[in-house]
Amino acid sequence: MNTEQDLWGGMPYYPISQFYKNRFGEKIWKVPVSFAATCPNREGIRGMKTCNFCDVWGSAAYPEHRELELREQMDTTIATIKKRYKANKYLVYFQAYTNTFEKTEKLRSAFEMAVQHKDVVGFVIGTRPDCISGAVLNLWKEYSEKYFVSIELGVQSFNEDHLIWMRRGHTAQKSIDAVNKIKSFCPDIDLGIHLMFGSPGETEDEIIEWAKQTNKLPIDNVKLHNIHVLKNTPLEKDFNRGEYMPLSREQYAKRVSLFLKYLKPGISVHRLTAVASRHDELVAPLWAANKMESYQYVLDYLKNNSINQGMSI
C-alpha cells in the first residue's frame, strides 16, 4: 500500500472522514443544526430568487429541530448519535440556509455555545461566496486561531450559464475571489467548496476543467452533489414540463470519477453522492433516494475501473 492510500484509509479517494481521523485521532461526527432562518436569495436581495433546486428547508438535515434553541438541537442530536454509534467527538454543522446572513454578535454567541460543549472539537459553517463581510471574516479569524473552524462555500459550478440556470445570483469569479480572500485573511481555516453535477448542457470535458480549477484554489476539501429534483422547487416545474432531466446513476458516477482522476490527492472529499434528506420530497432521480446504494455504486465504479484520485494529474 502506498503512502497516499494509507492516508486515505485504503480508499481510492481521500474521504473527509479519514481527514478528520488523521487530524483528531478518532472518528468525528457532524451535528447539523438549524441556525440561520433564511438566505439572500429567499429575501430577494438584489432581485435574487430562490435557487432552482432548493426546497423550503434550505438544506436542513433536521428541519423539525428548527424551532428548538441551538443548545437543545445540539444536545438532542448528539445524544442520538452517541447512542446509535457510540460516538465521542463532534463538529457542530451550521448547515441550513446562509450562516453569515446574521448579525455578528448572534454568530459569536452561536460559535461560543458550540465550542463550550465538552465533546465538540470545532464547527463547520455553510454559506455562499457573496455573503462574507469584513466583520464575518474577523470573527472567523478569531475563532479559527483557537478552534477547528471549517467553511463550506456553495460554489456549485464554475460555468456562468449553469449558475444563471440555478439562479444562484453570484458568478464563478465571485466564488474564486471569495475562496482567495478567506484563505489569505484566515489561513487557519479549513476551507471547502460545494460543486453540483448535472446542469443542462454540462459536458465531461467541463468536469475535468473544474477539477483543474479546483486544484488552483487554496482549499482543503470539496463536496460533490448530484442535482436532484425536490417537490415544491422551481426545478420540479422544469422537470414536469420535460425541460430538465437529471443524470442517470451511471452518468453521475462517470462524472465523479473523471473529477477525482484530476483532483489533487491532498484535497479531501466529503461524499460521493447527495441524497434527499426527506425521501418523500424526492421527485427525481429515484436512485438518489438510497444513500448507501448510491455511494456503493460510485465506489464500485471507481474500483472496477481502477480509478484513484489524482491519477491523471
For residues 171 and 310, give the distance between their C-alpha atoms in angstroms, rounded to a whole number: 27
Q: Name the residue nearer to ligand SF4 (CB basis): 42 or 65.
A: 42
Of 16, 28, 33, 54, the one binding ligand SF4 by CB under 6 A: 54
Cell numbers at 310, concatenated? 489524482
Shortest Å, Cβ 103 to ligand SF4: 18
Using CA atoms, how far residue 30 sits from 78, 90, 226, 271, 298, in Å, is 9, 6, 21, 13, 22
Of 16, 31, 39, 229, the one binding ligand SF4 by CB under 6 A: 39
Q: Name the residue nearer to ligand SF4 (CB basis): 39 or 299.
A: 39
Q: Is 128 in the site for ligand SF4 (CB under 6 A)?
A: yes
Of 18, 50, 100, 309, the one binding ligand SF4 by CB under 6 A: 50
Q: Name the residue nearer to ligand SF4 (CB basis): 216 or 231.
A: 231
For the beta carbon of residue 192, count every other beta carbon within 10 angstroms.
23
Stretch that binds ligand SF4, among 1-9, 34-42, 194-202, 289-297 (CB under 6 A): 34-42
Bridge partners, 194 (sequence order)? 154, 223
Residue 306 backbone phi and psi in degrees, to 5: 50, 45
Q: Name the residue nearer to ligand SF4 (CB basis): 51 or 307.
A: 51
8 Å CB contact between 28 and 121:
yes
Of 28, 31, 51, 258, the one binding ligand SF4 by CB under 6 A: 51
Stretch that binds ligand SF4, among 14-22, 50-58, 210-218, 265-273 (CB under 6 A): 50-58
Shortest Å, Cβ 157 to ligand SF4: 13
For residues 65 and 35, give the distance between their C-alpha atoms in angstroms, rounded to a whole number: 10
Q: Name the residue nearer to ligand SF4 (CB basis): 154 or 310.
A: 154
Shortest Å, Cβ 36 to ligand SF4: 8
**Total residues at interface with ligand SF4 (CB under 6 A):** 11
Bridge partners, 197 (sequence order)? 226
Q: Is 97 in the site for ligand SF4 (CB under 6 A)?
A: yes
For residues 159 and 298, give the distance between their C-alpha atoms in angstroms, rounded to a whole number: 24
Q: Name the residue nearer to ligand SF4 (CB basis): 235 or 298.
A: 235
Q: Name the residue nearer to ligand SF4 (CB basis): 39 or 307.
A: 39
Using CA atoms, how far residue 41 sits from 45, 130, 144, 160, 222, in Å, is 6, 11, 28, 17, 23
Q: Which of residues 133-192 bind ligand SF4 (CB under 6 A)?
A: 154
Sort 75 into a burial class: Cβ within 10 Å, 0-12 / 13-18 / 19+.
Answer: middle
Q: Is 299 in the site for ligand SF4 (CB under 6 A)?
A: no
Three-class SS state of 269: strand
Stretch that binds ligand SF4, among 22-30, 48-56, 267-275, 297-305 (CB under 6 A): 48-56
Q: Nearest Cα to 277, choosing from 119, 2, 55, 113?
A: 55
Stretch that binds ligand SF4, among 46-54, 68-76, 177-185, 299-307 (CB under 6 A): 46-54
Sign of the dihedral through C-alpha 89, 95, 98, 102: negative
Residues that bind ligand SF4 (CB under 6 A): 39, 41-42, 50-51, 54, 58, 97-98, 128, 154
